[in-house]
Amino acid sequence: MTFSASFTIKSTLMAAALAVAGLPAFANEGAIGARQGQFKIMALNIGVLGGMARGTVDYDAAQAQIAADNLAAISQLNQAFNWPEGSDMMAATTNRALPAIWENQDDFLAKWAAFGTAATGLQAAAGNGLEAMQAALGPVGGSCGACHDAYRQPQ
C-alpha cells in the first residue's frame, strides 16, 4: 500500500469517526425540534378550543372537532424518539425539559398517557356543543399542567 492510499484510507476513517461522534448531538437536536414542533401544534389547537371556551371566539362545532381530533392524534404519537438521554435543558439550551424527565421516565410517560386519555375525551365531546367541549377541555389543560409543573423549566 502506498503512502497516498494509506493516507486516504486513514483520512476517510477519521472523517467517518468524527461524523459518528457528532451523531448524538444531531439526534438530540432533531428530537428537541420534533417535540417542540409537537408542542406548538398542541398549543395551536388548544388555543382554538380555549378561545371558544372563553367566548373570545364563537363556538364552531366543526372547528372544535378538528382541533380536538388533532390533539387526540398527537397524543397517540409514540414518544420513544422524542426524548433521548442528554436532550434536557442542561445539555441543550434550546429547550426547557428538566432532567427529571429521564430520572422519572415512568411518571413522565404516565403523564403523557393521561394527556392521551383527556384528549380522547375531548375528541368525543368537542362537536357536541360548547358546554360539552368546555367540560372536556378542563382535563386536557390539567394533564398539560401536571406535566409542565413536574418536567418543564418555568420561563
pLDDT tens digits along 24-62: 444 577 888 888 899 999 999 999 999 999 999 999 999
**47, three cell numbers:** 388555543
CA distance 108 to 62: 32
Q: What interhelical angle do 130-151 and 23-54 show, nearest 10?
A: 150
CA distance 100 to 109: 12
The owner of cell 442542561 is: 90
CA distance 35 to 153: 15
For residue 27, give the amino acid letter.
A
pLDDT tens digits along 106-139: 999 999 999 999 999 999 999 999 999 999 999 9
Phi/psi of residue 69, nearest 5 degrees: -60, -40
